[in-house]
């Protein structure tokens, strides 16, 4: 019980002031003194009747590590370069203007679920190869709720019956394999600092338009002439416990009519 009490008191160190002499880092909490000696692998807690040594916890680096079930939470957006006056655009979506595909800020979301990611040591655990596999789920929520997709043949029209719809979105889901070069500047820490950069290849396995008008929900499944493959530049930034990710497609996401390049950005929930 005495040792547990000492450990709890040591945890309060960040709320106390500390003093430093020439040889040791010394922290005083009432009648207790915590000493960190130069070159030592931990700290010593001294009281009137006892001395407790707290060893420094070491992070073990392995040449191959696996992180299971990583989740990304972020936003989906489009870089729209469509020539709306072109014959191809007007044939695909008669009467189309750039206002049709305005996305609702904060409502167009990206969720990625990675089955696994592995990190392979290449140079002293500072330079690593990082790769994995997972599902990339993109939702593009339209500000204009009257947009409707049709199939056989694929067309995009304005449907006034959808006016006032609570939801109108295009969902595009990919089975994706990313491969990145990882630079870990603090290899001896579990939650370190660094970044990764590389590419990913995604296969479109599901696409659908979902609308909600009142209590009525409708869903139309089709590929809507979206390209089956999506190649993207991908990256992540590791700031200790905070991890950010981003992706930017290399090409237009449509086979015809439109020229829109998708990109995502958000937070990554990962062990490393």
Q: Are residues 135 and 211 both part of a single domain? A: yes
Q: What is the CATH number of the domain that holds 214?
A: 2.40.128
Count of alpha carbons within 13 angstroms of residue 79, beta-carbon side: 10
Q: Are 37 and 53 in contact (CB under 8 A)?
A: no
Q: What is the dihedral of CA 18, 21, 25, 31, to 10 degrees?
A: -50
Q: Are residues 50 and 71 both part of a single domain? A: no
Q: Are residues 121 and 190 both part of a single domain? A: yes
Contacts (Cβ under 8 Å, ≥6 apart) of 88: 256, 257
Containing structural domain, residue 21: 2-55
Tell me the per-residue pLDDT of 26-59, one tens digit each, with 9 for 90 and over.
666 655 566 666 655 556 666 655 666 666 556 6
Instruction: Flag the least confident range among 38-52, 82-96, 191-205.
Output: 38-52
Q: Are residues 107 and 192 both part of a single domain? A: yes
Tell me the per-residue pLDDT of 94-120, one tens digit each, with 9 for 90 and over.
999 989 999 998 899 999 999 999 999
**Total structural domains in the chain?**
2
């Amino acid at each position: 019980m005495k040792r547990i009490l000492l450990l709890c008191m040591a945890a309060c160190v960040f709320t106390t002031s500390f003093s430093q002499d020439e040889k040791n880092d010394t922290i005083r909490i009432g009648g207790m003194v915590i000493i960190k000696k130069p070159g030592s692998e931990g700290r010593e807690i001294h009281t009137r009747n006892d001395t407790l040594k707290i060893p420094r916890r070491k992070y073990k680096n392995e040449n191959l590590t696996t992180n299971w079930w990583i989740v990304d939470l972020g936003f989906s957006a489009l870089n729209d370069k469509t020539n709306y006056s072109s014959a191809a655009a007007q044939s695909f979506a008669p009467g189309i203007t750039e206002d049709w595909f305005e996305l609702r800020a904060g409502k167009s979301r990206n969720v990625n679920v990675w089955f696994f990611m592995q990190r392979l040591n290449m140079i002293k655990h500072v330079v690593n190869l990082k790769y994995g596999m997972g599902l990339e789920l993109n939702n593009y929520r339209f500000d204009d709720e009257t947009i409707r997709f049709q199939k056989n043949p694929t067309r995009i029209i304005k449907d006034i019956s959808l006016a006032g719809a609570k939801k109108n979105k295009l969902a595009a889901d990919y089975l994706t394999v990313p491969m990145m070069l990882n630079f870990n500047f603090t290899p001896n820490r579990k939650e370190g600092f660094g970044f990764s950069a590389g590419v990913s290849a995604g296969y479109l396995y599901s696409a659908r338009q979902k609308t909600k008008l009142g209590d009525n929900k409708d869903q139309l499944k089709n590929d809507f002439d979206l390209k089956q493959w999506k190649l993207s530049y991908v990256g992540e930034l590791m700031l200790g416990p905070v991890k950010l990710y981003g992706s930017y497609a290399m090409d237009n996401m449509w086979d015809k009519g439109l020229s829109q390049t998708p990109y995502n950005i958000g937070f990554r929930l990962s062990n490393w």
